[in-house]
Each structure stands twice: as C-alpha cells, then as structure tokens.
Structure 1
Amino acid sequence: MNRRNFLRWSGLAALAALAGGVTARSAMAGNKYYTGPVSDHFDGKVFFNPGGEEPGGFANLIRWKLGGNNKAWPESFPSPFPQAVPEKRVAGDRMSVTMVGHASFLIQAAGLNILTDPVWDERASPVRFAGPKRVNQPGITMGDLPPIDIVIVTHNHYDHMDLETLWVLQGRDKPQFVTPLGNDDIIRSRLADARIDVMDWGGLLEVGGGVALHCEPCHHWSARGLNDRRMALWAAFVIETPAGKIYHVGDTGFHSGINYRAAREKHGSFRLANLPFGAYEPQWFMKAQHQNPDEAVEGMLLCNAAHVAGHHWGTFKLTDEGIEEPVVALHAALDARNLPRERFRPMRPGEVFEVPAATA
C-alpha cells in the first residue's frame, strides 16, 4: 500500500470510530470498560438506546463514503471573533457561555467554571496524522482559561473526549471530571490520579452552592476503536444552578423528540440549552446519531429552552454538508416557525454569549 492510500485508509478508519463504521460483532467479546447490572439501557455487555436505532455498520459507512455527495470545506474557516479572555468568575444571576469550538464550551454561572467536552487538539482522531482536522483555532487559549472547577465529558468519541486536553487540564487545575458509566476507565488510562464522578442516566450529583448535575438520556453511541462499540455510556447533562438550568447535549439523534420531552417533564424549562445542529448529511446514515437543524429547533421547543447555544458545526468536518449549510438550514427552520433567530445562536469560536435572564 502506498503512502497516499495508507493515509486515505487511516483517515477512513479514524472517521469510522466517529461515525459508526464498525461491526456489531466487535461488542460481543465482553465489556472492557464497565461491569454492572442489566438495566433498560444496558444488556450486561453493551449500552443501547431504548426503543432507538443503532448506528450504521461498516458496509453503510463505505456506501456513504462512495456516495459522491461530499462538499469540500475550506482549509481554514477563521472565526469572526477574536480569542476570548474570559472573566475569572461569574456570579449572581449572570450566566455566560464562551465557545471554544465544536462541542467545547466554557460555562460560567454561580461562581463555577465548567468545561464541556474540551478538545484543544488539532485533530479529532485516534491518530495524529489523519482524521478530522480543525479549521479554526480554539476560541480560548489554554493559558487564558480561568481556573476550571468541573469538566463534563458526555461520551468517548474523539471529537468529545481528547485525553491530551484532559491531561493538560488535570495538571493545570485538577478539576472534578464528570462522565457517564465506563468512560472513567478510559480517562484514567491517561489521568491515573484524576477525581472522577461517574453517572448513569437519571443520576444526580450535588456539587454544592445550589449547583447540581443531572445525567440524562440522549440518542447516540460510543467507541474509541474497532473493538469497544457501545461499551461506555453516552449522556446529556442538566446543570442546575441558582441562576437557572442549562441543558447540555453533546451529541444526539432526534429520536422523535423523546428525550427532549422527558427533559421538559422532569426539569420544567431551561434558561439555556446547548444543542448540536451540524454533522447530519447524509441523513439516511447520520439520523441515528446526529440531529439536523430543523430537528434541533424542534428540540429547543420541546424542552422549553429560552435560548440555545448551537454547536457541533464549523470546526471539524465529519460529514457531507458544506461548512455553512447548517446555519442556512437553521435560519430557515427558525423563520418557518416565526421564531426570532437570536433565540438559537450558532456559536463561533471566541464568541461570548451573556445569556439573558429567563422571563416568566
């Protein structure tokens, strides 16, 4: 195999770990990360979405990649915002969210600094030389981050769990890591001394100062390679603070809106929801794991979110749509429902969103 073909295949293998291209047989040898009782979303070996849809296997991955509908991205897509220098703390009724890139946010509320799915690496990939490469710089330099108290890792895909970034944060701040079942084993492989709270769907973690974290379902899956499919759990998180509730969804398929309705029924309403709205084409392949912009807007309404920080677009090319197509489709979805565009903000790296107070 020549170098060009090797790099092409390595890139495909890296993408397979993100997009579902592994076979179901890989999960049958036993779970390498988690051992626990059978539940409505764990069969004793692997996790699953109750009543949901599994991601496509390797044959469908090849069908997608040979489909010829891929739209090229520019090599560079710089943000219109300069890299942010956040305040050290945000307190009182204020709530501030700064976009780092992709699904990485700095959330500041109730005096706490919370990072979600932090990825500062150049690639979202199991290898350093191939796989999705970022087209813009992180919206905050690591040196300009305020002290980080909590790091939420929603699942183990490479565009959400970057062990090198977590290692730097551990050396820098020794934060409290919060993640769903099984992911702690992966994190400890790089951060042996990390303080990790592991949660199952429906779990509650009291942080203190009126802040609590709720681990909630989303429709997704997990894998770090070709032999650990669905062996660690994926989740959304509700961050309950005195300044209001935040619904953070790192990755999800729409799943008929089931999880959005459940979040509203349990939590009532949200001052802010962080919702993904990119990486959705072709929809026949991606719908079980990534929602499209129209579905994201419907999710905003179903979970009763006053404002949305939109993410999972414009940093790593994972799927076929053009780089700005998610925003065009998002605006069309909002306009079709006569909703103000400012309610659902497609965040760019370095952008700071001072979330308005929720009104009655």
Structure 2
Amino acid sequence: MTRRGLLRLLIPAGLAGLAGPAWWNWSKSRNPYYSGPVTDHFDGVRFFNPEHLWSKSFGDLWRGVWFSEKTPWPESRPLAEPAVPPARIEGRGLRVTAIGHASHLIQAAGLNILTDPVWSERCSPVSFAGPKRVTPPGIAFDDLPEIDVVLISHNHYDHLDVATLSRLAARDAPRVIVPLGNDAIIKAHDASIRTEAYDWGARVPLSGDVAAHPLPAYHWSARGATDRRKALWCAYALDLGPAGKLYFAGDTALVGGATFRNAAKDHGPFRLAILPIGAYEPRWFMKDQHMNAEEAVEAFGLLGAEAAIGCHWGVFRLTAEGIDAPVEQLAASLAAKGLAPERFRALRPGEAWEGRAPAA
C-alpha cells in the first residue's frame, strides 16, 4: 500500500486535517480520478445530486454507525444450494441469479452481465478488517459462465471489489462499465481491466439488441478520507432487446422518488427492477443514502415494474438492523399495499428469478 493509501486508511473522514492543513486543503481542492467540464451535477471537483444536497458530520457517522445499538447477526449462514447457471439465455428469456448483496448474474439476449460483483471475504480496503461475509456467494466463482459485461454502480467497497474484477479480467476479459472517475480507481489497481466510464444519461451499446443507460441515483462515493464524491455513482436501465427492460438501482435513497419516476418515463416499461432493501438503520442517519424495504416498495410502484428483486441484505453487516429485518419489512409492506409477495421477492444468494417471456 502506498503512503497516501495508508494515510487514507488510518485517518477517518473528518479527522484527515490532523495529517496537516496543507495536505488536507490540497486534497480537497483536486480530483485524482476525473477532470471534465462543470455540469449540473459536477462542480469541477465533486459530483452531487442537484435536488438532494445533504451531508453528515463525522460526529453523525460516529453516532450513527459505530455506536448505534445493533441487532446481533449470526457468524455465518450457509447457502441452501449454490446455483450453477446455464451457459447462456437466448431469445425472450430473462434469468437473474442472486450472488449476494448487490451482486447478480443477469442472463438475457445471449449476454451474461454481472452487477457490482464481490467474491472477496471482506468489503474493505484491507483483507484483515472490515465487514466480513456472512453468507457465501450464491454462485461459486468457478461455476460462473463466461462474463461479457460488468456494471459497477459506485466505488464503495461493498460494490466495487477490484480483486474480483482482476479475477474476471484474467478469466474472461469482460467490458466493465462504470460511472465517471471509477475507471481511474480500477486501472490504478489493474491496468488490464477493460473499463469504460460514462456520465448519467449516456447510452452504452452492449450488443446489437442490448444497451445500458447510467442514470441518477441518490447516493455518494468514497474510497478513502479525501475522495468523497470525486467519482460518480449511478443506477442502470438495461434495454435487453426481446427480453424486455430491467432497472438496477445500485445504492440509493428514495428522497422524493424523482429518479424512479424519470426512469419509468424515459426507459420503461420495466419487466424487472432490482432494488436495495437493506442497510437502513438507524433511519435518521441512513435515509439520505439507503432505502428501507417500505421505501423500496414505493420505488417499485413509481417504476411501474412488473416484478422486483430485493437485494443489499443478509451478506455483509453494515448497519444496525437484524439480518432478516429487511425481508420481514418487505413482506409487511407488500401486504399493506395489497401486492402479491411473488411480485417482489427478496432473493437469497443462489436463488434465481425467471419470469414469463414478454408478449411478442
């Protein structure tokens, strides 16, 4: 690890000024990942959501994450049955297998697409500390079919795992689609990874029939103490040709729901939405960056999707709620809305969603 990387690791956000005011001010005023024109969501140094300007202090972080009362989790939870997916899905078929947390294998239109793949034991900058995996990956790495495309939503360690990306690059050399600035982070780790960086609103062709659209999400980014919001974050709308359309939220808050309404208007109708339902307590601290299951059900309605998958729960202990609390809240929220439980399933790692083929 470089001296700068070690400094980032040892000095938490909010205390980085102890490293020296000159170093801290220099770090705040430059962006090591991206240089581009000022836009409605980039001020020349940092990215932001124009309609959702929020921040939390270091004291809030201390109180909300490290010293909040936490419901105990089990040390480990075995898989019911690891999945061995097919090599490809053609035609109108769509299969999504939960790997765990925000990692999914999307198979449609002859393509194999991974979202935010993490096969590491910890989501952390180091291998000896940080949130540890409770549930194994739903697909063993060696049982993955050939991967064509990887979609990365943002650079938090539970979503951007450079060790997994290196393994995929060595085996399959997939295209890795990322929001602006994240390509620099990945290339600094492994220059062989085929990264492509895009802004919100781009159209990224993946094949003759398939395209990915990075879209706004209510979240943020950071890999260390001085790079907060210096790389972009996003959701994705996928046009899967004959298999229909899919929405992958990455990490996001609900806020007023505008991102979901706009996605439905510009890219719907969606056959399937993949929405986070976990890592949401304490609510006063997490509501600006993560949805809970009740809010995810509201987002599902705003998207107008036929079906949904709930993710971001039961794998890495990040926040205060119990391991199964998101699933219980999802069931209660669906019942309160009069929605059938099969329309919005919280998949466990290894479980797959396969829907009916869309009408011709």
TM-score of the aligned structures, taking structure 1 as reference length: 0.91
Question: Which amino acid in 2 is paired with 1:291?
Answer: M
The CA RMSD measured in Å over matched residues stands at 2.2
Q: Which residue of 2 aligns with 1:278?
A: 278
Q: Would the alpha carbon gap of residues 65 and 271 (structure 1) be closer, same or farther in structure 2, given more than 3 Å must change?
A: closer
**1:208 Cα shift?**
2.0
The answer as to whether partners of 1:90 and 1:110 remain within 8 angstroms in 2 is: yes
| 1:209 aligned onto 2:204 | no
2:165 counterpart letter in structure 1: L
Cα distance in 2 between the residues matched to 1:53 and 1:21: 22
The CA distance in 2 between the partners of 1:55 and 1:311, in whole Å, is: 25
5+ long unaligned stretches in structure 1: 1-9
Question: Secondary structure of the equivalent of 1:98?
Answer: strand
Describe the superposition over 1:89-146 as per-residue Cα deviations: whole angstroms up to 9, x where unpaired. 0001100001111000000000000000000000011111111101011011111100
Per the TM alignment, residue 54 of structure 1 is displaced from its structure 2 partner at its CA by 2.6
1:338 alignment counterpart: 338
Equivalences for 1:91-102 in 2 at 5 Å? 91-102=90-101
1:209 match: secondary structure: coil
- The corresponding residue for 1:89 is 88
* Separation in 1, partners of 2:299, 2:167: 34
Distance in 2 between residues matched to 1:173 and 1:269, nearest whole Å:
32
In the aligned structure 1, how far is the partner of 2:235 from the partner of 2:136?
26
1:168 match? 167
Q: Which residue of 2 aligns with 1:328?
A: 328
The 5 Å alignment of 1:100-119 reads 100-119=99-118
- Partner of 1:240, secondary structure, is strand
Contact 2:277 2:310 in 1 (8 A): yes
Please list every run of at least 4 consecutive aligned residues from structure 1 whose deviation after the TM superposition is greater than 6 angstroms: 20-27
* Correspondence 1:241 to 2:240: yes
Which letter does structure 1 place at the counterpart of 2:301? L
Instruction: Give the share of equivalent positions with the same residue, in percent.
Output: 52
After superposition, residues 183-262 of structure 1 pair within 5 angstroms as: 183-242=182-241, 243-262=243-262
Q: How many pairs are equivalent?
A: 346
Q: 1:302 to 1:21 in 2, by over 3 A?
A: farther
| Pairing 1:28-47 to 2, within 5 Å after superposition | 28-47=28-47
- How far is 1:268 from its partner? 2.6
- Is it true that 1:355 corresponds to 2:355 in the alignment? yes
Q: 1:102, 1:312 within 8 Å by CA — same for their partners in 2?
A: yes
Q: Does the aligned pair in 2 maintain the 1:211–1:240 contact within 8 Å? A: yes
Whole-Å Cα distance in 2 between the matches of residues 294 and 26 of structure 1?
A: 42
User: Gaps spanning 5+ residues in structure 2: where?
Assistant: 1-5, 18-23
SS across alignment from 1:208 = coil
Aligned to 2:143: 144
Q: What is the one-letter code of the residue matched to 2:46?
A: V
Distance in 2 of aligned mates of 1:110 and 1:270: 16
Residue 3 of structure 2 corresponds to none
Q: Is the 8 A contact 1:246 1:272 kept in 2?
A: yes
TM-superposition CA deviations, 1:201-243 (whole Å, max 9, x none): 0011112221011110000000001111100000001110121
Counterpart amino acid of residue 253 in structure 2: G
Decide whether aligned partners of structure 1 residues 126 and 356 sit closer, same or farther in structure 2, where only a CA change above 3 A counts: same
SS of residue paired to 1:255: coil
Cα deviation, residue 193, structure 1: 2.3
Distance 2:173 2:51 in 1: 38
Q: In the aligned structure 2, how far is the partner of 1:78 from the partner of 1:341?
A: 24
Q: Distance in 2 between matches of 1:123 and 1:170?
A: 20
